[in-house]
Amino acid sequence: MPTEKIDGRREMLRTLTPVASTNAGLWLDKHLNRGEGDAPIRALVTRMRDTIQPPDGYRQAFERREAALQKQDGGFQEGVTQFWRGLVEGRMIVGIGLASARETGISLLHTWGMPFIPGSALKGVAAAMARELPGDTWRAGSAGHRALFGDHQLGGSVVFHDAWWAPGTPDESLPLDLDVMTVHHREYYGGGDEAPADWDEPNPVVFTTARGAYHVALSGPASWVEAAGKLLAEGLATLGVGAKTAAGYGRLTLERQLTKADAERERARKEQARQAEGLLGIASRFKGAQNANDLVKELLKAQSEGVAPAAVRAAADELRRREDKFWKEWLKKPSRSAEERALMAPPTASVDGRRDP
């Protein structure tokens, strides 16, 4: 007596319902409804979008990764890592051609089921933008292009890291959406012999797209990272990343993000600029022997705290010119330290007749 063959595993999966903690990648790749056509996939993606939420541990993983990236130097001494926030303008589809049980794929982190942009895709956008620019600086095969992006013999100077979806945006829902492209001449595009005609049956194809903000990170020498960031920003805004860019998908706006180290360097820079500005009027506070030593100590302190040497030298010259005779006598005293003498000594003539500072 014949028995009906039942796919027990697939039958069980077909009756499952996603919950908030379901991995979106597993849901899309493993839980396939039976049947043919557009409806099963549409229902699959709709249920995912309406139910699944970003995993509870994703934010912690994102923050740990950011902290680790801040320490990256790209393999260069004094290399840096700089960050940008890339906001998708509309929707993005990266990885549509990946191997998938569905007709179309999408790039999702295996562990978290969250969308990301592979670093190789970002590097490709920056390289494509470089080739679009006029002049020879970034043309394919030029020294600049090879140094930045590398070739089959030379590694590039900048590391393009994968860009993870950035939590913390106002919309904390799963950043995946349902979209449809309609093929109007399926037989013709499939290699058939019949020419396309107006009465051909349209064939809607459902696919998954991503949205939201993404955390872009580049590592390497500071000057090269800056150059790569500019190319990438222009490329993402004008060329786009991923599939269907000609239809407007994959456009992102990049906004520079300061790390804690960047913020500290910026604070130190502003403080040094403030100190340098304060030193400019130091001569107006000169009261002879009454405060000469205090003013010199102030200049030496600014020098030790990293104020630009040119600013400290300009303030010392201003102070010395205020009462040149006084400072000549001041320098004669044996108690003066080497640092004080170097700071307040008048310029000496160099071998070519010009004045050295």
pLDDT in tens, 286-331: 888 888 888 888 888 888 887 778 888 888 888 888 888 888 888 8
Q: What is the mean pLDDT of residues 164-172?
A: 79
Give percent above pLDDT 90 in the chain.
32
Q: What is the pLDDT of residue 2?
A: 56
The pLDDT, as a whole number, for residue 169 is: 64
Question: Strand, coil or helix: what is 108?
Answer: strand
CATH topology of domain 57-182+201-257: Alpha-Beta Plaits (3.30.70)
93 within 8 A of 106, measured Cβ to Cβ: yes
What pLDDT shows up at residue 153?
A: 84
Which range is least confidently modeled, 15-24, 292-301, 342-351?
Answer: 342-351
Bridge partners, residue 213, by sequence? 87
Q: Exposed/middle/buried for 289, CB within 10 Å: 0-12, 13-18, 19+?
A: exposed
- Res. 185: pLDDT tops 80: no
Name the DSSP class of 241: S
Question: Exposed (0-12), middle (13-18) or buried (19+): which is 51, by Cβ within 10 Å?
Answer: middle
Which of 236, 227, 240 shows the shortest CA–CA distance to 254? 236
Region 5-17 average pLDDT: 64
- Asked whether the whole model's pTM tops 0.75, one would answer no
Between residues 208 and 253, which one has the greater pLDDT?
A: 253
Q: What angle do CA 289, 293, 298 make, to 5 degrees?
A: 135
Phi, psi of 232 (to 5 degrees): -65, -40
**Most confident region among 96-100, 137-141, 183-187, 202-206 by mean pLDDT:** 137-141
Average pLDDT for residues 254-281, to the nearest whole number? 76
Res. 107 pLDDT band, cuts 50 70 90: very high
Note the pLDDT of residue 111: 93
Residues of the chain above pLDDT 70, percent:
86
Rounded to an integer, the average pLDDT of 6-20 is: 70
pLDDT at 39: 67
Q: Would you say 214 and 163 are in contact if contact means Cβ atoms under 8 Å apart?
A: yes
Average pLDDT over the chain, rounded to whole? 83
User: According to the model, what pLDDT value does residue 301 have?
Assistant: 87
Q: DSSP for 296-314?
A: HHHHHHHHHTT--HHHHHH
Identify the pLDDT of residue 281: 77
pLDDT at site 263: 73
Mean pLDDT calculated for residue range 65-75: 91
pLDDT average, residue stretch 44-65: 89
The pLDDT, as a whole number, for residue 16 is 75
